[in-house]
Amino acid sequence: MTQKQISHPEGLPNCAAGHRARHIHDERRASAGGGHLVECCCRSTSKRADAEAAMAEWRRINRPARSPRAAPIAPGNVVQFKLSLAEQSQKPQRAMGVGHGRR
């Protein structure tokens, strides 16, 4: 058999979906399709000549999603004014109806 599963005492990190990972070493030459890969039931890395390169790729494709940044907090001693190019009138406008206009 040309493929062996390699056991890691510290264990391998699970994939992003939570599946258990396993490290496989294909003992054929690299030109014949051999190398190291890490796989689970839903994804796998490409074969690498170096075991550390396969592990680095596994960690890269299964890193946890980043949380969005928190909105910046404005300090309490800053006053912000509503600035606009058009002046807004402060008087409420009355509806023009019958008998409300000039005679």
Summarize pLDDT for 56-79 with one digit per residue, the tens.
999 898 887 777 787 777 777 877
Give me the percent of the chain exceeding a pLDDT of 90: 13
pLDDT band at 38 (very low <50, low <70, confident <90, very high): very high
Name the E strands within the chain: 3-6, 22-26, 35-39
pTM: 0.57
Query: What is the three-class DSSP state of 85?
Result: coil
- Average pLDDT of the chain, as a whole number: 80
Per-residue pLDDT tens over the stretch 79-97: 777 877 766 666 666 666 5
Residue type, 100: H
Q: Single out the residue of 14, 51, 16 nearest to residue 35, CA to CA.
A: 51
> 37: which residues sit within 8 A by CB, 6+ positions away?
23, 24, 26, 44, 45, 46, 47, 48, 54
